[in-house]
Amino acid sequence: MSRFNWPGLMRLGLRGLGLTPAEFWALTPAELMLMLGEATGTTAPLTRARLMELAAAYPDAGNRGGQDA
């Protein structure tokens, strides 16, 4: 059985994913690895910072402040 790098996983979960300690410890290792994009070999989920970056780069042209243009 492989050993887990708990300090590294905690940093990724708490800082990287923004989980609370209770949320982190409630996850199974498989759930945590899936959230980090490790279980399936895919990339990590979209973060809020990346979403904001994409929204700034590609603004909605027809929707300003919840009202259609």
What are the pLDDT digits (tens) for 50-67?
Answer: 889 889 999 887 666 655
Q: Is the pLDDT of residue 24 over 90?
A: yes
Structure tokens at 13: 């979960």
What is the value of pTM for the model shown? 0.49
List C-alpha distances in Å: 64 to 7, 46, 50, 55, 69: 43, 24, 21, 13, 7
24 domain-assigned: yes
52 domain-assigned: yes
How many separate domains does the chain show?
1
36 domain-assigned: yes
Residue 41: give the domain boundaries: 6-59
